[in-house]
C-alpha cells in the first residue's frame, strides 16, 4: 500500500534513507563519485514522483534500484560513446549484471551506513579529507556545513572533497569494505566523523531550526552499534556517553517558538533522565578501566553539568580541571574557548577575557561567531554592557543559524535597552 506524505515529511524520509542507499550502491559499484551522482538522481526522481504516485512500500529498495539503473545507464552511454569494451568490462564486472534485480539481503535489511563510514576512511586519504568525504556521504551534510565544522571557507572544503574523490579513484586501492585490520586503523577517524555528525545535528550551523534530529539520531544509532561491536573500547563508550548526556538536554534547549534557551536557564525537569543515567553509567564504567581519551573527558564534563540539579550547583572547578586535561589531549581551539568559559566561572570574567585575547592572537577562530558570543557573555558578566551588546550583534551577523542569530540579537537589544 502506497501512502502520501507532506513535503516536510517527504524531505525527512529522503534524508533518512540517503546514506544507507548510498552505502548499498557503493558496495555494488565500488565507485564513490558515480554512486553519489546516481543516488542524487534517484532522490530527485523520488521527490518528483512520490508526491504524485505515493511512497513505495519499500522506499529504500526503490531508491537503490533507481540509482543502480542510473549507473548502469551511464556506463552504457559512456561505453557507446568511447567504444572501449575494456572499460565497460572493468566498470561492470559479471556479478553486477543482475543489478536491476537486487538480491533481497541488499534491499531488505542490511545497514550499510556503518560499513560506509569505514569505507570512506580510505588509506589514500588524509584524515581531514576522509572526515570531509564521510560527512558528505554518510552524514548528508552540505559542503557549507562541513566547512563550518572544519572552520575553513566553503571553497576550500569543496576542493578538499573533490580531491578526496580523485585520490581514491587514482590510488588503485578498491573502495570496499575494509578488513578487520584496516577497520582498526580507521577507527579514530570514524569516531571523529560520528562526533561531527552529532554536533551538526545538535546545533545546526545553518537554517531555521536549532536541531537536526535526523543527524544527531543517526550519529547516536551508529555509535551505539559500534559500541555493541567494540564493547571494551573506552573511546567508543566515551563518545556514546557524550552523545547521550548532551542529547538528553535537547527538549529544554528551545522554547515554544523554537527560540534558543541557554544551559543556565533551561528547565532541567525536561532533561531526559533515562539518557542521563545511561550516559553516566557508560562513562563511569569506562573511566574505571584507567583509559583516558578526549571523548571520555568530554563525556565527564557533560556528566558534571547533567548531575547539577540547578545551574548554580554546577561544579565549575571540576569542569575547569577537566577542560585542562582535554587541552592536553586535543589542540582544538573550541576546547580552548570552552576552557575560557569554565575559567571565567571559577576565577571571574576578566580572567576569561584575557584567555580570549590569546585565542585572538592565534587567529584560529577568526571570523567565528562563537568567539564573539563568548566574549559578549563574559563582558556582560563583567558589567561592561555596552561592549557586550556590540559583540552580541557581531556574533549575530556571523552565524548562519536563525535560532542563534535571534537569541544573540535579543541579548544585544536587552542590554541596549537597559543602558538607555
Q: Is residue 106, in this structure, part of any structural domain at all?
A: yes
What mean pLDDT is predicted for residues 79-86? Answer: 50
Q: Is residue 343, in this structure, part of any structural domain at all?
A: yes
Would you give the end-to-end CA distance of the chain in angstroms? 64
Give the Cα separation of 46 and 332 in Å (integer). Answer: 40
Can you give the pLDDT at residue 146? Answer: 85
Helices vs strands, H then E, count in the chain:
20, 2
Q: Is residue 192, in this structure, part of any structural domain at all?
A: no
Can you give the pLDDT at residue 81? Answer: 54
Taking residue 218's Cβ as centre, other Cβ atoms within 10 Å add up to: 23
Q: Which three cell numbers stand for residue 179?
A: 578488513
Q: Is residue 350, in this structure, part of any structural domain at all?
A: yes
* Alpha-carbon dihedral sign for residues 55, 59, 64, 65: negative
Q: Which three cell numbers stand for residue 406?
A: 535571534
Does the global pTM surpass 0.85?
A: no
Give the Cα separation of 322 and 106 in Å (integer). Answer: 45
Q: What is the average pLDDT value for the chain, to the nearest integer?
A: 85
* Alpha-carbon dihedral sign for residues 133, 200, 234, 364: positive
Q: Which domain holds residue 60?
A: 1-110
Give the Cα separation of 287 and 300 in Å (integer). Answer: 9
Q: Which of 93, 110, 127 marks a domain boundary?
A: 110
| Secondary element (H or E) of residue 187 | helix 180-202
Residues of the chain above pLDDT 70, percent: 89
Quick: pLDDT tens for 284-314: 999 888 778 999 999 999 999 999 999 999 9
Q: Which of 110, 139, 170 marks a domain boundary?
A: 110
Give the Cα separation of 137 and 149 in Å (integer). Answer: 15
**CA distance readout (Å), 307 to 90, 274, 338, 369, 384:** 58, 13, 19, 29, 32
Max Cα-Cα span within the chain: 78
Give the Cα separation of 203 and 200 in Å (integer). Answer: 5
Q: What's the angle, vertex CA 188, arms to CA 185 and CA 193, rounded to 5?
A: 125
Q: Phi and psi for 55 in degrees, rounded to 5? A: -80, 135
Q: Which three cell numbers stand for residue 63?
A: 531508491
Q: Is residue 405, in this structure, part of any structural domain at all?
A: yes
Q: Are 99 and 34 in contact (CB under 8 A)?
A: no
Model confidence band, residue 322 (pLDDT cutoffs 50, 70, 90):
very high
Can you give the pLDDT at residue 361? Answer: 93
Q: Is residue 344, in this structure, part of any structural domain at all?
A: yes
Q: Is residue 287, in this structure, part of any structural domain at all?
A: no
Q: Which of 110, 131, 154 marks a domain boundary?
A: 110
Q: Phi and psi for 362 in degrees, rounded to 5? A: -70, -35
Query: Could you tell me the CATH number of the domain that includes residue 338?
Result: 1.25.40
Bridge partners, 260 (sequence order): 254
Give the Cα separation of 280 and 400 in Å (integer). Answer: 33
Q: Is residue 165, in this structure, part of any structural domain at all?
A: no
Total domains present in the chain = 2
**CA distance readout (Å), 361 to 63, 173, 335, 337, 369:** 50, 42, 16, 13, 16
Quick: pLDDT tens for 1-20: 455 556 667 777 787 788 77
Q: Is the pLDDT of residue 84 over 60?
A: no
Amino acid at each position: 500500500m502506497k501512502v502520501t506524505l507532506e513535503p516536510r515529511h517527504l524531505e525527512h524520509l529522503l534524508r533518512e534513507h540517503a546514506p544507507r542507499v548510498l552505502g548499498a550502491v557503493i558496495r555494488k559499484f565500488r565507485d564513490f563519485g558515480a554512486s553519489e551522482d546516481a543516488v542524487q538522481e534517484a532522490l530527485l526522481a523520488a521527490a518528483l514522483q512520490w508526491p504524485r504516485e505515493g511512497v513505495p512500500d519499500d522506499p529504500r529498495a526503490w531508491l537503490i534500484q533507481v540509482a543502480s539503473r542510473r549507473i548502469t545507464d551511464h556506463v552504457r552511454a559512456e561505453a557507446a560513446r568511447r567504444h572501449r569494451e575494456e572499460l565497460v568490462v572493468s566498470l561492470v564486472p559479471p556479478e553486477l549484471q543482475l543489478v536491476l534485480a537486487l538480491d533481497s539481503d541488499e534491499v531488505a535489511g542490511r545497514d550499510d551506513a556503518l560499513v560506509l563510514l569505514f569505507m570512506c576512511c580510505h588509506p589514500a586519504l588524509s584524515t581531514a579529507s576522509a572526515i570531509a568525504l564521510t560527512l558528505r556521504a554518510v552524514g548528508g551534510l552540505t559542503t557549507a556545513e562541513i566547512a563550518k565544522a572544519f572552520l575553513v571557507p566553503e571553497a576550500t572544503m569543496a576542493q578538499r572533497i573533490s580531491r578526496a574523490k580523485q585520490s581514491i579513484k587514482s590510488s588503485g586501492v578498491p573502495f570496499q569494505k575494509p578488513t578487520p585490520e584496516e577497520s582498526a586503523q580507521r577507527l579514530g577517524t570514524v569516531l571523529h566523523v560520528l562526533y561531527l555528525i552529532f554536533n551538526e545535528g545538535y546545533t545546526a550551523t545553518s537554517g531555521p531550526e536549532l536541531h537536526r534530529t535526523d543527524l544527531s539520531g543517526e550519529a547516536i544509532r551508529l555509535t551505539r552499534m559500534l559500541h555493541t561491536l567494540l564493547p571494551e573500547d573506552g573511546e567508543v563508550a566515551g563518545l556514546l556517553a557524550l552523545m547521550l548526556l548532551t542529547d538528553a538536554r535537547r527538549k529544554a534547549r528551545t522554547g515554544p517558538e523554537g527560540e534558543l534557551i541557554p544551559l543556565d536557564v533551561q528547565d532541567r525537569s525536561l532533561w531526559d533522565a533515562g539518557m542521563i543515567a545511561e550516559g553516566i553509567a557508560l562513562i563511569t564504567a569506562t573511566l574505571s578501566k584507567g583509559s583516558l581519551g578526549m571523548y571520555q573527558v568530554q563525556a565527564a564534563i557533560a556528566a558534571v553539568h547533567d548531575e547539577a540539579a540547578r545551574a548554580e550547583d554546577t561544579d565549575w572547578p571540576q569542569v575547569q580541571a577537566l577542560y585542562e586535561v582535554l587541552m592536553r589531549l586535543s589542540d582544538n581551539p573550541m576546547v580552548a574557548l570552552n576552557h575560557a568559559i569554565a575559567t571565567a566561572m571559577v576565577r571571574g570574567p576578566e580572567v576569561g577575557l584575557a584567555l580570549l585575547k590569546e585565542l585572538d592572537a592565534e587567529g584560529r577562530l577568526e571570523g567565528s561567531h562563537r568567539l564573539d558570543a563568548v566574549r559578549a557573555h563574559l563582558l556582560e558578566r563583567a558589567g561592561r554592557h555596552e561592549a557586550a551588546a556590540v559583540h552580541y550583534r557581531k556574533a549575530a551577523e556571523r552565524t548562519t543559524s536563525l535560532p542563534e542569530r535571534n537569541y544573540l540579537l535579543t541579548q544585544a537589544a536587552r542590554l541596549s535597552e537597559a543602558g538607555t
